[in-house]
DNA sequence: CGCATTTGTTGACAATGTAAATTTTACACT
DNA sequence: AGTGTAAAATTTACATTGTCAACAAATGCG
């Protein structure tokens, strides 16, 4: 029988401080700069101590990413202020999304970088990941109900998501060659997403009578 | 005076083989799996030999990325078949973009991953990067001239780019929770991009007839 | 108090990128 | 041909990483 066991509080406390330190290190020295030994020196403990609380580095990063998702989710939810109609809410959400990503590029990278290890085996991470996605889905369901956009909410949410994510992803990767600040891209992107999904019955502007000149191949390979 | 010097052809040959091997390694063992020693064993040379041809690992990856951009550019240009009008051309380009990204996820990651080292100091890489961007810009200029979309071509190209990039980026990162195959997202995305920019002004100026219910704040923080 | 069990530390190991030293190779000149 | 010198390639060495195993310290029940 165990004679001495760390209380859950102590464990959580240490894990939290470690995640905090790791997050700071990522922001300060980049993803590659997070070293177990550096981490230990920040926490004033020996390099192997974190192994008592995390089985390996993957688990550490899983915790860091989980925290990032939670903060991201909170930032999105904070954008939902009262008095906004469905369209304004969606717009505010999109801007909050972009603002968070630009303000915390490293956190965003941790969350959405291609090639991050999959959350398999980390249920908390998986849950946080899904959680960060629900504000948009909810806002989209509301928007569809209100009739400001038309279509399958799940599909629409993905399209919106991809739009804003693509923007910040390219920006953070330094790929944009746009001559003006990125804010002047966010506006057109959101406008595009709204106008492009207003749907046929929204206000009669784009009636079905016009089967759209949009290419509609499906059999083209 | 040098008694023996590698001919430029020999140098290029070796560099090419090395880039080839590195590309294969990235595809096979992932980005982190590219090791100088593994590279050497694939090339049947000693681990330090590549240092004669590349000053460090960053330069190796710069070459790998340059090659990837060139292939990507070629794939996009190949989508421009004759007999397509401006809209069809843009559509075909978008599909070619997605197809390439999905077919070569590692190459795409190398090109567009957030946090890849910047191309500073690698003019060839920078040029290849810019080159991969011109097919879209040209197609967009053509589309604007043809009147199928309206607005500043540079801005429109960025919006389109972000749209498709966002889609493949999320897909490759395994973030999509869409219940159906991604192809069923590409179609709506392209349709959204087209429909959302058909209007008389997508550059911030509100369309005349319809004062647009789209939120148009600018001073909101 | 005694001592088993937990907690934390130290040392060691393999693999990595890189630098310096060293060996091998091949051409130019006598 | 023979040789010397500079280029090309290899070998050796080192610092840093993540991880494992053995070790020391502390702690609370009997």
Q: Which domains are delineated in chain A? A: 1-54 (1.10.10.60), 62-221 (1.10.357.10)
Report the C-alpha gap between A105 and A167 in whole angstroms: 13
Report the C-alpha gap between A144 and A102 in whole angstroms: 28
**pLDDT above 90 as % of chain A:** 77
B124: closest CA of chain A, how far (Å): 15
Burial label for B142, CB within 10 Å (0-12, 13-18, 19+), is middle
DSSP letter at B193?
A: H
Q: Whose CA is nearest the C1' atom of nucleotide D28?
A: A3
Report the C-alpha gap between B173 and A118 in whole angstroms: 9
> Positive or negative, the Cα torsion across A149, B155, B166, A138?
negative
Nearest to B201 by CA among A190, A160, A191: A191
Rounded (10°) angle between helices B57-78 and B134-146: 30
Mean pLDDT, rounded, for B112-118: 84
Nearest to A31 by CA among A109, A88, A129, A85: A109
Whether the Cβ atoms of residue B156 and residue A185 lie closer than 8 Å to each other: no
* B130:A177 CB<8 A: yes
Element (H, E) at B116: none
Whether the Cβ atoms of residue B160 and residue B94 lie closer than 8 Å to each other: yes
Q: Does pLDDT of B168 surpass 80?
A: yes
Q: Does pLDDT of A68 surpass 70?
A: yes
**Confidence category of residue B209, pLDDT binned at 50, 70, 90:** very low
Q: What pLDDT does B7 receive? A: 72
Q: Would the pTM of this model clear 0.85, i.e. be above it?
A: yes
- Using the CB atoms, write b or e for B143-174: b if 16+ within 10 Å: bbeeebbbbbbbbbbbbbbbbbbbbbbbbbbe
The protein residues having a beta carbon less than 7 Å from any atom of strand C are A 1-6, 45-49, 51-52; B 1, 3-4, 34-38, 47-48, 51, 56-58
Q: Does pLDDT of B204 surpass 70?
A: no
Report the C-alpha gap between A188 and B155 in whole angstroms: 8
**Confidence category of residue B202, pLDDT binned at 50, 70, 90:** very low
Whether the Cβ atoms of residue B104 and residue B113 lie closer than 8 Å to each other: no
Q: Whose CA is nearest the C1' atom of nucleotide D27?
A: A4
Report the C-alpha gap between B44 and B29 in whole angstroms: 18
Q: Is the CB of B52 under 7 A from strand D?
A: yes
Query: How long is the CA B40 to C1' D5 vector, in angstroms?
Result: 28
- Using the CB atoms, write b or e for B51-75: b if 16+ within 10 Å: eebbeebebbbbbbbbbbbebbbeb
Mean pLDDT, rounded, for B82-111: 96
Task: From chain B, pick out residues whose CB is under 8 angstroms from the CB of A115.
Answer: 30-31, 109, 113, 173
Probe site for chain B from A196, A197, A210, A221 (most B CB atoms < 10 A): A196
């Amino acid at each position: 029988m165990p004679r001495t066991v760390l209380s859950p509080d102590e464990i959580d406390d240490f894990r939290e401080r470690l995640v905090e330190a790791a997050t700071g290190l990522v922001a300060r020295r980049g993803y590659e700069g997070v070293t177990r030994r550096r981490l230990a020196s920040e926490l004033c403990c020996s390099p192997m101590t974190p192994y008592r609380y995390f089985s390996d580095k993957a688990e550490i990063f899983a915790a860091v990413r989980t925290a990032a998702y939670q903060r991201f989710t909170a930032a999105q939810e904070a954008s939902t202020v009262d008095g906004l109609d469905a369209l304004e809410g969606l717009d505010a959400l999109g801007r909050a999304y972009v603002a968070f990503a630009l303000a915390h590029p490293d956190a965003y990278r941790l969350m959405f970088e291609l090639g991050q290890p999959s959350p398999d085996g980390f249920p908390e991470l998986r849950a946080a990941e899904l959680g960060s996605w629900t504000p948009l889905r909810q806002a989209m369901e509301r928007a569809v109900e209100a009739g400001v956009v038309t279509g399958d909410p799940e599909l629409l949410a993905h399209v919106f998501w991809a739009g804003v994510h693509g923007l910040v992803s390219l920006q953070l990767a330094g790929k944009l060659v746009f001559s003006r600040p990125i804010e002047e891209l966010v506006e057109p992107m959101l406008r595009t997403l709204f106008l492009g999904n207003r749907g046929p019955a929204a206000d009669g502007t784009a009636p079905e009578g016009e089967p759209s000149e949009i290419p509609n191949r499906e059999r083209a390979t």
